[in-house]
Structure formats: structure tokens, C-alpha cells
Structure 1
């Protein structure tokens, strides 16, 4: 009986409460939104509420920045400005340097194509200017970095911490003073190997152990020079297709038929400028698009031709109208 009465009392109390539906907020003026005098709120918050908010986010961002700073310090601690952390086989670059050429057009869609008209000075000047820009660091030896450059020779050890000079004025007809042969329709193409820190070439310096597929003119050249000068990364060029081989004409290489050993290994020394090989088309056929492949020769440079996955070589075309 008592239980029944207690339940009736609870029902009676609950019936005394009425549900209040959400009311539409009272419209406020812009002045009240910024500061409401009735409750002392700035933009809907009290002074104490704003203080706690700024305190929380202040501590949050300080901790976040401290964690980021600690991570970056740990990362940079493992790096060195003078040499890469991962080298040779451990690096993404690997141990097979790529072969590139210059000049390149400013439009990447026309890369791999050198075209000019024989008597059009504007078109010839375009390619000459492109080569001037590329060779500017080589020509500007008075920039201060030349204090660390030395003249190197075969059979002599390069001084520690020094870089070998590559003199672009010692390139015969491919020198800047001769306009790289473009005004004579005997254009020069400059070949360069990509830099790989610490990589040392393995040379074809034994005339009795040369590759069977090495061009005969290169073989004869290797046999004709002194033994001490045979430590080079050899370079050869040839037409891709039979028609191209007839149209290229003879090639001339400056300052040598390869890249000398004293430029290696690359160790990121101050003032270092990568060595080049200038390849001149002595008598190319006019009005024919000539496809040319140039290749680097060393025992530890893998070669793969074709239009895809090319290794140890470079492909370009030349057209003289």
C-alpha cells in the first residue's frame, strides 16, 4: 500500500514539470555581438572563457612546435652538407651514371631535337646562346671559386680538396670563340656524365681487352695514344639507323675522345665543374633529320639502348636546313 502511495507522489511531482521547447535566440545588434553589456561577453565568451581558450591553444601549439623542432633536429643531425648519407649502391641514384647532352631548347617539348637553318643567323644564335648560358660557369673562372681549381694531368695525383679545371677554350672548333661551329654548319654537341658521389670508373685501358662491339675508330684511337692517357671514360657517337650513319659524316671529339680519370671521384669539392666532351659534326648531310646515339664506355657503366630504359647513352636528332 505504501509503495503504491509513493509511486502516486512521484507521478504527481513529474506532472508538475513542463517541457520547455528551444526558443529562437533573441536577435542582437553588431554592437551586442562584439560586447554584450548584459552578461559581459565578448563575441559570445566571457573574459575568463577567452583566457582559458588562449591558454589551451598556446600550450597546444608550443608542444606541437617543440615536437616538430625535435624531429627536424634529429633528421638534420643525420645529414651532412658535404656528402650524402646514402652513397653508391645504397643511394637511389645507384652506380650507373646517365649521359646527357647540351644544348637543350628552352621548350621541354622539343627536347632531343637540334634544328636550325644554315643561313638563318637568328636560329643559329639561339643555339649558340643556349650553349653560352650552359658554359658560363666554365668561362667565369674569376668568380672566386677558381682559387680551388688546379690544372690536372695524366699520371699526376689530384691534390686533396682541389678540383680540376675544365678549360672550354681548349676545345678547338668547338670553343666559344668559334661559335661552337654553328656558323660553319659544323655544330658541336656537348656530352656530360651525371655526378655520382664517390663513384670511380673502371676503364677500358687494356688494348688487348676492349669490347668486341666498340667502334673501330675508337679502338684505333685508344691504341694510338700513350698508355698513361688510356684511363678515360671513352665516348662514341653513331647514327641510329643505316640512313643516319651515312648522313652523320665523320665526328671529331674535343679535348679528347673521352673523359680523363683525374676528374674522378666526384667528392663535392668547392668549384667543381663536371668535365665535358665536345662532339663536332664535321660534314653532316643537309635537309635530313639525323638520329644520333652517343655512348659512354667504362666497365662499370651499363649500356641499354632503345627508346625506353636507356642507360649509359643519350639519343638526339640534328636537322640542318
Structure 2
């Protein structure tokens, strides 16, 4: 039991009031304490040990990262993606895109609406087409690398890509204002990797790597749902016996059809022409990440759509390995746009 002395047990210590310091003194001692030789709460030897530990730790971490990066880069090809087609997020079924797109996509969506007699309004749309077609014009002028004119008798040489025959686009040429000033507008449709409208807001000038179309080149095995006008177009490409092989080879085409979505739209859209042909020739495929490659384009010319009437148009690509789905937000193998000419 503790002894008592002057009313206080012998194992008790008297309370010592802590030294009062100003805020400046407390701050100064936190930086350097002369009584303990501590800098920011640590002695020099403690700081040295800490520096050595973290130096070794980060050197080892950097070396491990470099080894992993070297291994990953060793598996990556500069030309060919590691995952392609069904193994990739893009998939193996290309989509269709169209141009021009409204300057205000958030507001107008896929609507092409303009006044044919309003020069400023017309220029807005033709300028957007010019911007889209500029890479194609540059390639035709010889300003793009590895490009050549192609046809079925003159496919691209190894490492080369085909230019677009823009001179065969009929009324859908810049010299004609793409038909916008005469109420006969042109829309340009192209294959690309996109399958929904939101993806089309960017300029996509490439396709699915390594994708090769499976053509509808047998006139006896055309899909039942294929539009009659397209069927007739394919079937009429059957001239003399001596040319049968050549013509069958020319049927190696990704066919494209465009028409109004319902009976009223079919009537109001009027006659539709396509340039240079009703499809994309097979010599544009496959896309192998060639330098200078541009996604092939079909020019859609609409002759006198009914003025002041909103027309819904659907364009569809036809190949055995192009999936088709007509859902508004999950559309595949086709593209939808609305047209109204005032």
C-alpha cells in the first residue's frame, strides 16, 4: 500500500504544466527540433533509411513495369489488331454510315432539312459534304499515298488502295452543288465499323480489319426480302455467253438498296439513283490497315422528293455476312435518315 506524506501518496507525481508555445514556435519546431535533431519529425538517419527503401522499391516497380510493357508490345502488330472481327468489340458485321449530318446532331439527329431557295442554308450542307469528301478528292488528285484507280480488271496491287471514281457520280458532284440547290439532294452512304447513329458523329474512314464479304452473286439465290429494283439490276447484268465469267466476277459486290421506309415514304421520296453503281465493288475489300485507305462510298441521288414532307429513308447493305436489324437504337447492316426539302 502506498505511503502517505503530506496528504499525498509517494507513488504519485505532481502535475507539470506543459510548456506554452506560440503558433510560430510550434511550426518552427515541427520543421526542425534542435533538442532531438529531428527534421519534420524524423532524424537524418531515419530519412536516409526511408529514401533508400523507396528508391529500391520504385526501381523494382519501374523494372517490373518495363518488363511487362516490353512483353505486351512484343505481341502487338503495328498493322494488324490482336483481336479482330468476332474476337473484338467491333464484331464481324459492318454498319452503314451517311453524310451529310446535321451541324446540330443533338437537336436534329439524322434529319437533313433545308430550303432549296436559301443559298446560305444550301451552303451549310454542301460545305459539310465538301469536308467529308476532301480526303477522297485529295486521293484522286494524287495527293494520298499508295492509291490507284481500280476496276474488276485492274484490282489494287499489293499495298495499294483504290480511289473513288468521283467523276462517275452523275448529279452528285460538287460542280452540280450535289443537287441541293435544285431540290434533288444527294446523300453519301459508306460502309464502316459503326452500327449505330451515335458512332457516326465522327468521321470514320476505315472498316473492319480483314473482313471479306460473302457476296450475293447468284441470281437464283437472292434473298426474298431484297427490293425488286435491286434484284432486277443484278439479273440484268447477264450479257453474252463469252462475258458470263466476267459478269459473275463483277457480281462480287456488296449491294446497296435505298428506299422509303413505308408506303407513304416510298411514294414521297420519288425515284432514287445510285452512282457509280448499286453497291460497293469487291476490290475495295479487305481492309488491312493500308496507308491511305478510305471507306468506299455510294452516292444516292433522290430525284424530286415531295417538298415540305418529311420522308424516312433506309439504306441497307447486302452480303451474306452482314447482319441486319432494323431497331432504332441497335440498327445493324443499314442506316436511317430523314429528309425534308422546303
TM range, normalised to the smaller chain?
0.7 to 0.9
Q: Secondary structure at the match of 1:203?
A: coil
Query: Gaps (5+ residues) in structure 1?
Result: 1-7
TM-score, normalization: structure 2?
Answer: 0.82
Which string of whole-angstrom CA distances, capped at 9 and with x for unpartnered residues, describes residues 232-266 of structure 1?
11111111122111100000101111000100111
Residue 213 (str. 1) matches residue 225 (str. 2): yes
Name the counterpart of 2:91: 94
Name the counterpart of 1:130: 128
Residues of 2 paired with 1:61 and 1:25: CA distance? 42
The alpha carbon displacement at 1:317 in A equals: 0.3
The alpha carbon displacement at 1:141 in A equals: 2.6
Name the counterpart of 2:33: 36
Q: Is the 8 A contact 1:249 1:284 kept in 2?
A: yes
Residues of 1 paired with 2:177 and 2:226: CA distance? 31
Which string of whole-angstrom CA distances, capped at 9 and with x for unpartnered residues, describes residues 277-309 of structure 1?
010111101101111111111121121213243
- Higher mean displacement: 241-250 or 40-49: 40-49
Which string of whole-angstrom CA distances, capped at 9 and with x for unpartnered residues, describes residues 75-133 of structure 1?
22221110111222222222211111111123331221111112111211111111111
User: Which of the numbers 146, 149, 174 marks the counterpart of 1:148?
Assistant: 146
Q: Secondary structure at the match of 2:325?
A: coil
User: Which of the numbers 245, 249, 252 marks the counterpart of 1:231?
Assistant: 252
Change (3 A) 1:22 1:168: farther
User: Which of the numbers 273, 283, 291 marks the counterpart of 1:270?
Assistant: 291
- Higher mean displacement: 25-34 or 201-210: 25-34
Name the counterpart of 2:319: 298
Q: Is the 8 A contact 2:145 2:291 kept in 1?
A: no
Change (3 A) 1:34 1:244: same
Q: Is the 8 A contact 2:98 2:189 kept in 1?
A: yes
User: Which of the numbers 35, 44, 52 marks the counterpart of 1:55?
Assistant: 52
Residues of 1 paired with 2:69 and 2:116: CA distance? 56
Q: CA-atom RMSD, angstroms?
A: 2.6
Q: Is the 8 A contact 2:140 2:164 kept in 1?
A: no
Q: Secondary structure at the match of 1:277?
A: strand
Name the counterpart of 2:5: none
Count of residue correspondences: 310
Change (3 A) 1:294 1:20: farther
Residue 199 (str. 1) matches residue 199 (str. 2): no
- Higher mean displacement: 142-151 or 266-275: 142-151
Q: Is the 8 A contact 2:149 2:165 kept in 1?
A: no
Query: Gaps (5+ residues) in structure 2?
Result: 3-8, 193-206, 239-246
